[in-house]
Chains A and B, each alone.
Chain A
């Protein structure tokens, strides 16, 4: 039965490919979940007695066959107290119960045996955020420490070197950017979809051709447009007309939230238009005919009947836009994302939203922490934590829109059947 053998072989090969795809997905998500959460779990403090009589106290941050890397008390600055110790030189390695770590406001960590033994903070005194005893802590206390660290990461601002502390500004920047993008893209997308739905002339053909042509164009090309046209063109023009008194210092003439939102809106428009137009076309003809028979014009039918009935499709468009916009980091690098912004684009002073300001973004934080961090040992875990948070934000934004869509769809199901 050769044909049966061939059948089995082919099936197994294809199944193996499918399994490999699934393995890639699971590996990626698992990696993200573990490596994104692990940095917040309290690490024990080790005490190493070396052959030459020295005693080192600190956290083990890496190890290989021959040596371990230890983070000892950072008395002068963050990331300046790593020691590499050969395993052959270690006499004993213990985790003393009275070891204390002091977390300072600038991100430094100081270690000591008992509070009295903590190294004094040399010159500029810095606020101590907290004292922790990870070695003595039980599971409950460790979990509390974990929750505290996680909360600090999500809800506080980073320190001056962007090596430790929270990512709240980046989180706010990401969400503000996506919301602003939606506010720009949705009305325009609806207008264009309605136009395509109503008209069949050359105008509609032009719009359709443009949408089709630009749907798959890489995001970096949109970034080039954002930089060249919005920032250098429009922005510089606005500066010349309205902010001439500040001029050597650009206001809108450098990258900022507004230009980034416009760039992302343009990036997502093709997707939005196509999905909304498909939604409009799917509304059953009987609905339209009934409305026309009752004396409504085509236009009234569209606005009072078809658009409300197509609300699930509008939300699908929004979901796609958000998914595409929240993940697009490359164009932002051209239009105003920064490593560390002094001010938030959203704050308590009038007019609350500052569209000309530069902003921070979780996706750019990932890139920056992974590749451009001054302290690689802190940078990579921080990048993973940012990545996990970014994926969580994307999933949350997606999920809320999907839930809303499903609720609406249930309400309109009677019409669609």
Chain B
């Protein structure tokens, strides 16, 4: 290789090589230090949450009885709200995911997923506003309508399916046809209720667990949907196609192949939904009335743990009995949601390992 001996010699000069290596190593060390320091900060910040809550509980001298009773009422409120919300979010979310994964036209699915992600991006305070300002006046006079719709809508769908089910060819687009029908059914139901003039079921408070459940259910719906859909898409297509080849209808393929394979994923979706509902604050704060009432009646108001934290903690003196009981509530919330998430994650991990072996 014809190389100018002068430069060649310089390039190979051991001093220069060593100097360059030193610069490289120093840069490397600085970057490594920065990364470690940043990570340490992240770790410290994240671990600070449980540690701080535990440290706050250290001056523990037992809580007075009424503090325990209050915590019990709050926990009951949170559970009642979460139960109502889960009853909305899980059936709706899982059914939507099943439709999207198994029946849906590909082009409709390309719209359905972003639409639900949009719902996820809507701040929950907005859902709380809609619940308290628009839904509450409707629900106050329409509890009976809501009950009737819960019974009538599936019945209507079944009747339609038996009447026209065989004839509709492209039922991948069915939701769009059903959309105006459902809206019309809801509008007709409210109109009948308004015409009758009397209120069949009067809730004891316009802000009640049913209202919270409707709004909170909408908030948890996208999460349940996306987790359930992910699980369903993990099932290899060959399995359902094999079922079709053996003469199964889509419903039979769903119940005999898809559900047994991805059922645990749907369970994980439900668990994550519960965890989300337990900790959500703004919706319960705005739509529950914040009245500490225990019991199982879904038509009375409630006060949830998260709402109590948001309302009471800023004005509470540190280290008092109230403060400690609130820290205890926060810790319980943290542990419960972390456990539920962990459990759901473990279930999903197992599912992924079982189904992810062969590429879907």
Residues of A within 8 A of B276 (CB): 216
Taken together as a complex, chains A and B put the C-alpha atoms of A227 and B327 apart, in Å, by: 11
- Complex partner residue of A3 from B37, B112, B218, B252, CB under 8 angstroms: B252
CB distance from A190 to the nearest CB of B (A): 7
Decide if B75 is an interface residue (CB 8 Å cutoff). no
Among A376-398, those with CB < 8 Å from B are: 380, 383-384, 387, 390-391, 394-395, 398
Minimum CB distance partner of A332 in chain B: B310
**Interface stretch (choices A68-76, A81-89, A341-349, A366-374):** A366-374
Minimum CB distance partner of A189 in chain B: B42
B112 touches A22 (CB 8 A): yes
Among B334-360, those with CB < 8 Å from A are: 334, 337-338, 340-342, 345
B285 touches A17 (CB 8 A): no
Among A310-366, those with CB < 8 Å from B are: 323, 326-330, 333-334, 363-364, 366
- Complex partner residue of B157 from A13, A35, A221, CB under 8 angstroms: A13
Among B269-323, those with CB < 8 Å from A are: 272, 275-276, 278-282, 285-286, 306, 309-310, 313-314, 318
CB distance from B321 to the nearest CB of A (A): 16
Taken together as a complex, chains A and B put the C-alpha atoms of A25 and B130 apart, in Å, by: 12
Decide if B125 is an interface residue (CB 8 Å cutoff). yes
B175 touches A19 (CB 8 A): yes
**Interface stretch (choices B59-67, B159-167, B198-206):** B159-167
- Complex partner residue of B313 from A3, A13, A194, A224, CB under 8 angstroms: A224
Decide if A21 is an interface residue (CB 8 Å cutoff). yes
A214 touches B49 (CB 8 A): yes
A5 touches B281 (CB 8 A): no
Among A18-52, those with CB < 8 Å from B are: 18-26, 28-29, 31-32, 35
A191 touches B161 (CB 8 A): no
- Encoded as 1 (CB less than 8 Å from any A CB) or 0, chain B from 87 to 125 comes to 000011101101110011000000010011011011111
Residues of B within 8 A of A169 (CB): none
- Complex partner residue of A28 from B32, B127, B252, B254, CB under 8 angstroms: B127
Minimum CB distance partner of A394 in chain B: B121
* Contact of A8 with B161 at beta-carbon distance under 8 Å, contacts A269-B46, A303-B31, A394-B121 already known: yes
Taken together as a complex, chains A and B put the C-alpha atoms of A326 and B286 apart, in Å, by: 18
**Interface stretch (choices B2-10, B11-19, B176-184, B234-242):** B176-184
B153 touches A216 (CB 8 A): no
Of the four ranges (under 10, 10 to 19, 20 to 34, 35 or more), the interface on chain A belongs to 35 or more
Minimum CB distance partner of A371 in chain B: B286
Tell me the dominant secondary structure on chain B's binding face. Answer: helix
Minimum CB distance partner of A386 in chain B: B129
Residues of A within 8 A of B128 (CB): 366-367, 370
Decide if B56 is an interface residue (CB 8 Å cutoff). yes
CB distance from A321 to the nearest CB of B (A): 12
- Complex partner residue of A216 from B24, B93, B166, B341, CB under 8 angstroms: B341
Residues of B within 8 A of A222 (CB): 49
* Contact of A207 with B171 at beta-carbon distance under 8 Å, contacts A15-B99, A20-B92 already known: no
B158 touches A12 (CB 8 A): yes
Taken together as a complex, chains A and B put the C-alpha atoms of A198 and B162 apart, in Å, by: 59
* Contact of A366 with B126 at beta-carbon distance under 8 Å, contacts A13-B154, A29-B118, A213-B342 already known: yes
A330 touches B281 (CB 8 A): yes
A7 touches B129 (CB 8 A): no
Residues of A within 8 A of B251 (CB): 3, 6-7, 10-11
Decide if B45 is an interface residue (CB 8 Å cutoff). yes
CB distance from A319 to the nearest CB of B (A): 10
B310 touches A195 (CB 8 A): no
Decide if A116 is an interface residue (CB 8 Å cutoff). no
A207 touches B28 (CB 8 A): no
Which chain B residues have a beta carbon within 8 Å of chain A's beta carbons?
24, 28, 31-32, 34-39, 41-43, 45-49, 52-53, 56, 91-93, 95-96, 98-100, 103-104, 112, 115-116, 118-119, 121-130, 132-134, 153-154, 157-158, 160-162, 165-166, 171, 174-176, 178-179, 181-183, 218, 221, 225, 249-252, 254, 272, 275-276, 278-282, 285-286, 306, 309-310, 313-314, 318, 326-327, 330, 333-334, 337-338, 340-342, 345
Given contacts A219-B279, A266-B46, 10 further A-B contacts (CB under 8 A): A12-B165, A19-B179, A23-B183, A24-B221, A207-B43, A210-B46, A220-B279, A227-B314, A329-B282, A363-B125
Closest 3 CB pairs of A and B: A218-B279, A191-B38, A8-B165
21 residue pairs of the A-B complex, CB under 8 angstroms, read: A4-B166, A12-B178, A13-B95, A15-B174, A22-B179, A26-B179, A28-B130, A188-B42, A195-B38, A213-B338, A214-B338, A216-B275, A221-B279, A269-B45, A299-B31, A327-B123, A327-B125, A329-B125, A334-B314, A366-B126, A367-B129
Which chain A residues have a beta carbon within 8 Å of chain B's beta carbons?
3-26, 28-29, 31-32, 35, 187-192, 194-196, 198, 203, 206-207, 210-225, 227-229, 232, 255, 266, 269-270, 273, 297, 299-300, 303, 323, 326-330, 333-334, 363-364, 366-367, 370-371, 380, 383-384, 387, 390-391, 394-395, 398
